[in-house]
Amino acid sequence: MAVDLTVLRSRLLLPADPADIRAAQAQAEALRRQMIGRVEIGAAADWLERQTQLGRHVFARGLPHDALPVTGGRVVDVTALLRACLVALQPPADANALYRVPSKPFWTVADAVASTLLAGLELAREGVLALQQSGTFAAVSVKADAPPAASGSATLLHAEPGRNLGSQPPG
């Protein structure tokens, strides 16, 4: 850079012809604009450096600087920490005084009837059973479409309104 400035100065001070003078002046003007640009960029960088910065001066979502991860560690007695946890996890002295939710029976009668009906409908849909009913609220006949694995005979179940399903021989 120093050599370029020296050559430019000599061209400006000792011009050979008018075209050389104009070229030297244009080169000097370009160099001057480049220097001014560098000074302006440096001023802008200084201004940006003075502004508040996220994570250094201002924290996202209002987090204080204490919430940031700490690079240095603290010396902690792990045994004392575990003993404190054991004390906190001890059951209360009067454990029987805790409220216990009463348990309900697993199946109610309505649940059993609904479950049986749904199971029968599912087996009929899969083609294992055949369901027949002559009319609304009439008796439902249940017939096994596929023979059971244990015996070769089909079992016919007959249900009437208000009565339990019973196993009856086919006939």
Domain ranges for the chain: 2-50, 114-168
d(CA 139, CA 88): 64
Residues in the chain, pLDDT under 70: 15, 62-75, 92, 95-99, 146-171
Question: What would the pLDDT profile of 96-134 be if each residue is shown by its tens digit?
Answer: 666 677 777 777 788 888 888 888 889 889 888 888 888
H or E element that contains 167? strand 166-168
